[in-house]
A = this chain, B = another copy of it.
């Protein structure tokens, strides 16, 4: 089913479609047109149809999409039917926010541990998630078959910790540290860069910060 040419942007949009469709289903909407999705998500209906077409189309022209079928289809693309164990590396304020973030559970992600080097934090339990010494990463990654990590350490140590994660078998890193990591091509890397987003917003809104 996996199509090599699908861009990260398409995958992100598919995830948004899934969230939107689930919300529609909760409101007892069973059939949806591409125009309705388009209006809700600010994505053109052509884009919506194109994104879905990478994985086989499911709609009928003039009839629309069955919401439940489309949800199952998207869940299958993302492998959501099975639980995905993840870890948070860096138990600072951002790490603590991620551990408490309610949005991951809806997509069957489970944070199995957080890691830090600060002895004062190690052993604490946040929202049922234990903070472990960073020396225990390898054991815990193996034990819980973890392949994905969220990296929330300071910028200065992000590269060295990311390399450690790769050595432990991590295959994908969601990096929150404001730094460009250099990793083997076999490892997937996405960056959540708050300052860059804010800069982009500042530009888009016409640089009105000058008052």
Distance A171 CA – B211 CA, assembled complex (angstroms): 12
Contact B11 A205 (CB under 8 A): no
Which segment of A26-34, A60-68, A77-85, A113-121 sits at the interface? A77-85
Contact A147 B209 (CB under 8 A): yes
Contact A188 B204 (CB under 8 A): yes
| A39 closest partner in B (C-beta) | B182
- Category for how many chain A residues contact B: 35 or more
Which of B101, B104, B209 contacts A85 (CB under 8 A)?
B209
Tell me which residues across on chain B come within 8 A of A82, comparing CB atoms: 209-210
Please give the distance in Å from A126's CB to the nearest CB on chain B: 9
Contact B97 A203 (CB under 8 A): no
Q: How many copies of the shown chain assemble into the complex?
A: 2
Which of B93, B187, B188 contacts A97 (CB under 8 A)?
B93
Tell me which residues across on chain B come within 8 A of A182, comparing CB atoms: 40
Which of B192, B204, B209, B211 contacts A192 (CB under 8 A)?
B192
Contact A200 B15 (CB under 8 A): yes
Contact B198 A109 (CB under 8 A): yes
Please give the distance in Å from A55's CB to the nearest CB on chain B: 11
User: Which residues of A are at the interface with B, using a C-beta cutoff of 8 A?
Assistant: 2, 8, 11-12, 15-16, 18-20, 40-42, 77-80, 82-86, 92-94, 96-98, 100-104, 106-107, 109, 145, 147-148, 150, 154-155, 171-174, 178, 180, 182, 187-188, 190, 192-211
The 9 closest A-B pairs by CB, nearest first: A84-B209, A145-B211, A172-B205, A79-B207, A93-B97, A188-B204, A94-B97, A103-B195, A188-B205
